[in-house]
Structure 1
Amino acid sequence: MKIVMQVKLLPGSAYDADALAAPLRACNRAANRVSEVAFGTGKVRRDALQKETYYALKADFDLGAQPAVRTIKKVCDAYATLKGNIKAGHLSGKARRKAESKPIRFRQDAAQPYDDRILTWNLDQRTVSIWTVAGRIKRVPFVCSNEAMKLLASRKGESDLVMRDGAFFLIATIDVEEPPVYEPDGWLGVDLGIVNIATTSDGAVLAGRRLNRYRKRQRDLRRKLQAKQTKSAKRRLKAIRRREARHAANENHKIAKKLVTTAERTSRGIALEDLKGIRQRVTAQIDQRARLHSWAFAQLGAFVEYKAKRDGVPVVHVDPRNTSRQCSECRHTHRTNRVSQAWFACRSCGVVMNADLNGSRNIAQRADAVWQRGNVNCPSVAPTGT
């Protein structure tokens, strides 16, 4: 499996910081030129596009051989991603026509890929030597956690230089060997929600009240600062942007770690709802829309999946339909069973319990059928030839 690792660069002077920003500006201007050529000629494959633009990039943008090649490859990847999104149905109608009507544009400070010819890591000294338009900058310090340092020892391939709020980061992709997935002895069902971020079939409730209060404070603060329209208010807005996203990501990391640890300790798998497209399917009231659209369902699911892969914990996704209306005891399903957001009362057998707990138990029960179908479709022993 692939793990994305981020380290922070610490340029020693303002000159070094400007030198690190310069290749981002140059490469992204070059990428926009290449994108225009690709859009105009229809040549989006690397070999054909490189023949059209390689020498022009070196002459007009003062790029070396490897930065020019990496820039062309970045443009090819962007068009491949656009094609994949269209094919998968993620872009349709007006959005698709708009995306296909003009060349892909790159921001001035968009990330730029570096390979081992233009970026050298010295893990012992925790420094890097990196190409810039003004020449190589050597012995640029970086900081990261001790766990990240261990993983960086097995780093291979490209790393991306990123500038975010005036700070510079290198993002490396690391291949980690996956342990074999064990045969689960039951399932830990997880019901995801807004009031309660996650409720497990064991009865553990990971409430979202603190996070929702934090988000409300941030929204109120942004609204207040935006209304002032002063320079100091704009500086404050810039300082606090992304803070809410970082806080929510940290909460999701902690929740995912707790779920995976619980499942591994009890030799069970993790069952999640398949929530793809939930924002399009669910109709929320006006006062609930901000909470619905700011909650990172996909992020928490992705965190659970990659942490589970690292520990060999099986994960399945089940159909979420009627998990909140079906009784986990007698299987009776009716919309009136869900009395309120918090409570479930079965009209058939009379059982009363927390609504999220009932949903998580339904998810756990559906997981076994999903797992068995997967085992049937994926035999563990390959057939032998004659």
Structure 2
Amino acid sequence: MYTMKIQLLTNVQQYDQLTDVTKRFSQVCNHISEVGFLTKTYRSKVRLSKECYHQVRDIYSLPAQMVVRAVGKVVEAYREGIGSKVIFEELTSVVYDTRLIKFKWMQSVSIATFTGRIEVPFKVTGYRRGSYDRRVSGLADLILENGVFFLLLVVDMPEEPSIKTLEFVNVVS
């Protein structure tokens, strides 16, 4: 598995929409975290979803799959934590899956926002560029880094072969 970093080439309107998504997703995660902490259901996705799913959908007007991703993010954060209440930063990473993002010919990506889908061109950063179609694992994190949006996409890439060395016997110089 390899994490590919994709820089989103947003215009001003798309940038504002993605900023709104990250802020609202953070609020949702904090709300779910609060519910999970108070009801002691923060270690089970199923139990935590039962406690807050409809409430979160009604309050924040989130797509169903985004609520599921937020619950998963909260549960993972509590599993890594030490038992105290988890608080997410204002611009936390947003977890997307294949229902929330779609790649179009490795030139642009269609991303679900609260105002509908937006199609954003992108460029692949890093040294392992190439054709990644049909190798995507299904999850991507939307992050904001130094004022630029990126998707961190997990792809299944074959291991690069190691260099085969030749064995030399009785070499005299």
Indicate yes or no: 2:121 matched with 1:141. yes
CA contact (8 A) 1:5 1:171 kept: yes
The 1:127/1:40 distance shift into structure 2, 3 A limit, reads same
Higher strand share: 2
- CA deviations on 1:49-85 (whole Å, 9 max, x unpaired) are 0011111111111111011111001101111222xxx
TM-score (norm 2): 0.86
Whether contact under 8 Å (2:25, 2:92) holds in the other structure is no
8 A contact 1:123–1:149 mirrored in 2? no
Q: Residues 169 and 152 from structure 1, CA distance in 2 versus in 1: closer, same or farther, beyond 3 angstroms?
A: farther
Distance between the aligned counterparts of 1:131 and 1:168, measured in 2? 14
User: How many positions carry a matched residue from both structures?
Assistant: 165
Query: Alpha-carbon deviations, 1:320-373, whole Å to 9, x = none?
Result: xxxxxxxxxxxxxxxxxxxxxxxxxxxxxxxxxxxxxxxxxxxxxxxxxxxxxx
1: CA distance, partners of 2:166 / 2:40: 52
Question: 1: CA distance between counterparts of 2:14 and 2:121?
Answer: 11
Structure 1 position 123 matched with structure 2 position 105: yes
Q: Distance in 1 between matches of 2:100 and 2:154?
A: 16
**Letter of the 1:157 counterpart:** G
Alpha-carbon distance in structure 2 between the residues aligned to 1:267 and 1:175: 30
Q: Which one of 68, 90, 93 corresponds to residue 111 of structure 1? A: 93
Aligned equivalents of 2:102 and 2:47: distance in 1? 29
Map of 2:29 onto structure 1: 31
Question: Unpaired segments of 5 or more residues in structure 1?
Answer: 83-98, 181-260, 269-386
CA change 1:178–1:149 in 2 (3 A) is closer
How far off its partner does 1:178 sit? 4.2
Mapping of residues 128-207 of structure 1, within 5 Å: 128-138=109-119, 140-144=120-124, 147-178=128-159
Distance 1:162 1:265 in 2: 39
Equivalent-residue separation in structure 1 for 2:152 and 2:123 (angstroms):
12
Q: Could you tell me how far 1:267 is from its partner in structure 2?
A: 6.7
1:144 alignment partner AA: V
C-alpha distance in 1 between matches for 2:128 and 2:158: 16
Cα deviation, 1:263-285, whole Å, max 9, x if unaligned, reads: x35479xxxxxxxxxxxxxxxxx
Higher relative contact order (CA 8 A, sep 6+): 2
Q: Distance in 1 between matches of 2:129 and 2:34?
A: 38
How far apart in 2 are the matches of 1:149 and 1:131? 25
2:8 is aligned to 9
1:76-123 deviation per Cα after TM superposition (whole angstroms, max 9, x unaligned): 1111222xxxxxxxxxxxxxxxx43x3101111111110111111113
Structure 1 vs Structure 2 CA RMSD: 2.2
Question: C-alpha deviations, 1:159-198, integer Å up to 9, x for none?
Answer: 1111112100001111233479xxxxxxxxxxxxxxxxxx
Q: Distance in 2 between matches of 1:160 and 1:123?
A: 20
2:60 alignment partner in structure 1: 61
User: If the length of structure 1 is used for normalisation, what is the TM-score?
Assistant: 0.40
Change (3 A) 1:152 1:105: farther
Distance (whole Å) between structure 2 residues aligned to residue 267 and residue 22 of structure 1:
57
Structure 2 residues not aligned, in runs of 5+: 168-173
Identity of aligned residues (%): 30
Cα separation, 1, equivalents of 2:110 and 2:160:
34
Q: Is the 8 A contact 2:4 2:124 kept in 1?
A: no
> Which whole-Å deviations, capped at 9, do the CAs of 1:129-182 have from their partners, x for residues lacking one?
1011122112x10001584332354112111111112100001111233479xx
Matched, 1:18 2:26: no
Q: Which amino acid aligns with 2:93?
A: A
Q: Is the 8 A contact 2:22 2:93 kept in 1?
A: yes
